[in-house]
């Protein structure tokens, strides 16, 4: 029997990570935040002085990453890097290297390894289109750019970081434009994905929506 996968793709700060983690918890499934893999790859490159446009060197680095996930924490070579990779700057660097086909190819096996019984919930940009094309359920989760910038703003303020709403909005739009325009695994809703627009929906409702869609898909 194939191991079920729920693939949740969508733009930056749409809340897909929170929804995916909650769905995984409700179902007792594993969870993969694929964005963290791109973020940590960019972080490792910066640490080792690998240029963000050196595709070959980045791919070699990506293929040899010593990564461990433990809840929301991410360990690189035994060092916790969760906070360091979740800054806006790290997101921008991740988006730059994520446009490179050799980097994406080098990270495929790592992502496939998360597909373990009893099931996987994963979020990213190409989970349903490229990494797990046979997913049981594919969802494209989105919200307007203004709403997403507002959510990211609140999140940063709650964590005690400074934030500027208009800079955040511009950053999100630039990152989404780059993610959607690239030739390799662009951000886009595939025909077989269900659209979940969450601009005026709370997290609980979004989680229930996914759980109901999954039950219906079985």
- Return the number of the residue (12 or 198) whose C-beta is nearest ligand C5P: 12
Q: Which three-class secondary structure string do you get for the chain?
A: CCCCEEEEECCCCCCHHHHHHHHHHHHCCEEEEHHHHHHHHHHHHHHHCCCCCCHHHHHHHHHCCCEEEECCEEEECCEECHHHHCCHHHHHHHHHHHCCHHHHHHCHHHHHCCCCCCCEEEEECCHHHHHCCCCCEEEEEECCHHHHHHHHHHHHHHCCCCCCHHHHHHHHHHHHHHHHHCCCCCCCCCCCCEEEECCCCCHHHHHHHHHHHHHHHC
Task: Give the whole-angstrom CA distance, residue 141 versus residue 189.
Answer: 9
Residue with Cβ nearer ligand C5P (4 or 35): 35
* Cα angle value 174/177/180 (rounded, 5°): 150
Residues that bind ligand C5P (CB under 6 A): 12, 34-35, 38-39, 91, 94-95, 98, 124-127, 175, 179
Could you tell me the smallest distance in angstroms from the CB atom of residue 138 to ligand C5P?
A: 13
- Find the shortest distance in angstroms from Cβ 164 to ligand C5P: 18
Of 4 and 124, nearer to ligand C5P (C-beta) is 124
For ligand C5P, give the closer residue by CB, 99 or 212. Answer: 99
| Closest distance of CB 44 from ligand C5P, Å | 14
């Amino acid at each position: 029997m194939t191991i079920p996968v729920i693939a949740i793709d969508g733009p930056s700060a749409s809340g897909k990570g929170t929804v995916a983690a909650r769905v995984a918890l409700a179902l007792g499934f594993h969870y993969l935040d694929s964005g963290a893999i791109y973020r940590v790859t960019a972080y490792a490159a910066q640490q080792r002085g690998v240029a963000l446009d050196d595709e070959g060197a980045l791919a070699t680095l990506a293929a040899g990453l010593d990564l461990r996930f433990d809840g929301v924490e991410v360990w690189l070579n035994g060092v916790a890097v969760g906070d360091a990779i979740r800054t806006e700057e790290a997101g921008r660097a991740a988006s730059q290297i994520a446009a490179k086909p050799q980097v994406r190819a080098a990270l495929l096996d790592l992502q496939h390894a998360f597909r373990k019984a009893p099931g996987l919930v994963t979020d990213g940009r190409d989970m349903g289109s490229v990494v797990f094309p046979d997913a049981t359920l594919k969802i494209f989760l989105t919200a307007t750019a203004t709403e997403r910038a507002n959510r990211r703003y609140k999140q940063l303020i709650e964590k005690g970081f400074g934030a500027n709403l208009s800079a955040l909005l511009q950053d999100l739009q630039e990152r989404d434009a780059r993610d959607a325009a690239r030739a390799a695994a662009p951000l886009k809703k595939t025909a077989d994905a269900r659209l979940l627009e969450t601009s005026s929906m709370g997290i609980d409702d979004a989680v229930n929506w996914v759980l109901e869609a999954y039950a219906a898909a079985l």
